[in-house]
Structure 1
Amino acid sequence: MNIALFGSADTVAGLEADIAAAAAEGHSSYWTPQIFGPDALTAIAVVSQSVPNIRIGTAVVPTYPRHPMALAQQALTVNQVSGGRLDLGIGLSHKPVVEGMWGMSFDRPVRHMSDYLKILMPLLHDQAVSHGGELLTGRGEIGVPATAPPVLIAALGEQMLKLAGKLADGTVTWMTGPKTIAELTAPTINNAAEAAGRNRPQVISAVPICVTNDVEAARARAAREYAIYGQLPSYRAMLDREGYDGPADLALIGDAAQVVDGLQGISDAGATTVVASPFGNADELAETRAVLAGLT
């Protein structure tokens, strides 16, 4: 079982401290979001200078605000300064954000991601691109000497998973349980990659976890902290596939043995890496991190 850690902070210094702690705990990779805090790629470039020996991934950078040529330039720069330790997770975001906050159209999201990858992937691999797509156009090349980071897309549904297998290096999921990974996620992306003659893709599966002796209180906390994910259509569909009422049902909550069994179940379902996202009070967070450190 390959375990990674998920975390975030309000400041780059805070993120640096958490990633340094993760590295000291023996984790080989750490994933951080791009939401409304510090810019993830900029932060990774900074943190990588002081924290060696751990891969750092984005989960995920939204595609709509950044043209793929601009993202290719930034990602290659980050991979150059980090010594090739970037894992580039990208995603569509959600209609309320794309349309409500950014004033952009969320129509045809799969077509958008297809155009995006057809521009992004060649550029990351030191190739010129000339793509006039239905939604995006990209022509030119990037002059940043660096290895290409793996590109993982936030693919939950069947069409996005097929696209991830065909054009990208894998998927990074959230709010997706073991039943869905075994029945939909892993077979769909693996079959698409095989049909396209690509290497077996990564399936990065992130899940909230809390090692605790007060399961009821932790479930109530999970229901509050993760409530939004039960309302966004893409995550709601994943919860429905598992038969869960809400995110608290998906979170791994219990004693150390129960949580480790849950992590193993996600791995056995087909996740190549299980990304643990600890939550809870201070004591629970410390205990959860200690249990995770014991798995590295």
Structure 2
Amino acid sequence: MTDTPSLPHLSVLLPTLARHPQEFLPFMSLVQQTTARRLWTGQPLLMDACQGFAYGAGKGFRVPVGTAVALAPTRHPFEAALQARGLAMTTGHTVEMGFGPGDPVFQRGLLGRPWRSPLTAMREFIVVCRELLAGGPVKLRGEYYTLLGRQGATRHPRVRLGLGVLRPAMARLAGEVADTAITWLTPPAYIAGTLRPAMLAGAERAGRPAPRVVAAVHVALDRDGRDPLDLLYRTSAGHLRAAHYLDMLDRAGVPTDRDDWRIAAKGLIEAGVFLYGDPGTLAAGLRGYAEAGVDEVILNLHGAATTQGVQETLDELRAVLELGAVR
């Protein structure tokens, strides 16, 4: 008889597009009151996540926070390091700052042209952030970032620097330079068979420990009147049209069709990317991520949150978090 595999640590994604910093408070309170590890956000386009987190800390909700992921073209690494340090000092907790390059269309819209090498850009971004956070002088004249300066040294809780990882090349880079690799819409079998080996190879090449693996996972309990495909569409309609996500899903063996999002949506459910069902089904799916080498799962209930109120969403999150209360 074998022991039942443990669940990964469970965290929470802010499931709404906040229009006021008060909208952060119920979910920061949830983290404060439950076993949730951390409150994460994606890349908000209405208000800055760091400001929302700082507002919540000022209201007394000093909890661990993270970004999964902030898009690097929106800021210089000098500003990113300053924000990360400020959050660590404000919350009093370790901060996870995950960054990603975004797609070429996004890069062109902000920078005038897409990056020739997103890998080089993200390497320079993370290296600059790390050296600034360490308090030392930075002397970099890179292809994408130039910085000759420093921010000074001060004591603060640790800032972990993460990379958004979808494909093997970025996974290898995460192994070389990042503290955390953050995945989105990635099947557990693909994490185990493709991404983690690439991370380990990158870490070995750089002579450093492999990064922690954090996976954002769409979840919802089976309830009357719910259509799981509709919930998944509300959460990931844009991702299921983006070329880099479709390429990742193709590599992972998930059927896709640019003209019919339902084909990819059904494949995501079958691959365990969207966990939908009763608590036992969700627990089994979460164990699959632990077995794939995932250290922490970010529970994403955005789809459900678009069809129900904040209180119902909080109640559903509590029910899912209870699955991991005994690990």
- Structure 2 length-normalised TM: 0.83
Report whether the alignment pairs 1:74 with 2:83: yes
Kept in 1, the 8 Å contact 2:25–2:61? The answer is no
C-alpha distance after superposition, 1:134-193 (max 9, x if no partner): 222111111262344001110211111111111111211111111110011222112322
Report whether the alignment pairs 1:282 with 2:308: yes
1:62-101 pair list within 5 angstroms: 62-100=71-109
In 2, the alpha carbon distance for the partners of 1:100 and 1:187 equals 34
- Structure 2 residue identity aligned to 1:204: V
The 3-state SS of whatever aligns with 1:45 is helix
In 1, the alpha carbon distance for the partners of 2:152 and 2:56 equals 24
Partner of 2:133: 124
In 2, the alpha carbon distance for the partners of 1:188 and 1:158 equals 6
Aligned-pair CA distance for 1:51: 4.4
Aligned-pair CA distance for 1:101: 5.3
Partner of 1:114: 123
Partner of 2:205: 195
In 2, the alpha carbon distance for the partners of 1:293 and 1:157 equals 29
Partner of 2:9: 2
- For the structure 1 residues 3 and 173, does the alpha-carbon distance in structure 2 shift closer, same or farther, using more than 3 Å as the test? same
Report whether the alignment pairs 1:186 with 2:209: no
- For the structure 1 residues 194 and 52, does the alpha-carbon distance in structure 2 shift closer, same or farther, using more than 3 Å as the test? farther
- For the structure 1 residues 15 and 144, does the alpha-carbon distance in structure 2 shift closer, same or farther, using more than 3 Å as the test? farther
In 2, the alpha carbon distance for the partners of 1:195 and 1:215 equals 51
In 1, the alpha carbon distance for the partners of 2:228 and 2:291 equals 25
Residue among 143, 161, 167 paired with 1:151: 161
Show structure 1 runs of 5+ residues with no match: none
Report whether the alignment pairs 1:269 with 2:273: no
The 3-state SS of whatever aligns with 2:218 is strand
Partner of 1:239: 249
Paired residues, number: 296
Kept in 2, the 8 Å contact 1:162–1:189? The answer is yes
Residue among 182, 192, 204 paired with 1:172: 182
Aligned-pair CA distance for 1:275: 0.9
Residue among 34, 40, 55 paired with 2:64: 55
Partner of 2:49: 40
Q: 254-263 vs 237-246, which deviates more?
A: 237-246
Kept in 2, the 8 Å contact 1:180–1:238? The answer is no
In 2, the alpha carbon distance for the partners of 1:155 and 1:6 equals 17
Kept in 2, the 8 Å contact 1:151–1:169? The answer is yes
Aligned-pair CA distance for 1:242: 3.7
Aligned-pair CA distance for 1:50: 3.1
The 3-state SS of whatever aligns with 2:238 is helix
In 2, the alpha carbon distance for the partners of 1:104 and 1:67 equals 16
Aligned-pair CA distance for 1:259: 1.4
C-alpha distance after superposition, 1:61-94 (max 9, x if no partner): 2111211112112211221122133211111122
- For the structure 1 residues 46 and 144, does the alpha-carbon distance in structure 2 shift closer, same or farther, using more than 3 Å as the test? farther
Partner of 2:222: 212
The 3-state SS of whatever aligns with 2:58 is coil
C-alpha distance after superposition, 1:188-246 (max 9, x if no partner): 11232233222231111001111114587122231344221111122112322142432
The 3-state SS of whatever aligns with 1:22 is helix
Report whether the alignment pairs 1:260 with 2:283: yes
- For the structure 1 residues 147 and 18, does the alpha-carbon distance in structure 2 shift closer, same or farther, using more than 3 Å as the test? closer
In 2, the alpha carbon distance for the partners of 1:238 and 1:78 equals 32
- Structure 2 residue identity aligned to 1:257: G
In 2, the alpha carbon distance for the partners of 1:237 and 1:276 equals 24
**Identity rate of aligned residues, in percent?**
24
1:19-30 pair list within 5 angstroms: 19-30=28-39
The 3-state SS of whatever aligns with 2:109 is coil
Kept in 1, the 8 Å contact 2:176–2:203? The answer is yes
- Structure 1 length-normalised TM: 0.91
In 1, the alpha carbon distance for the partners of 2:64 and 2:198 equals 26
Kept in 2, the 8 Å contact 1:89–1:151? The answer is yes
In 1, the alpha carbon distance for the partners of 2:93 and 2:63 equals 10
Kept in 1, the 8 Å contact 2:200–2:210? The answer is yes
Kept in 2, the 8 Å contact 1:16–1:47? The answer is yes
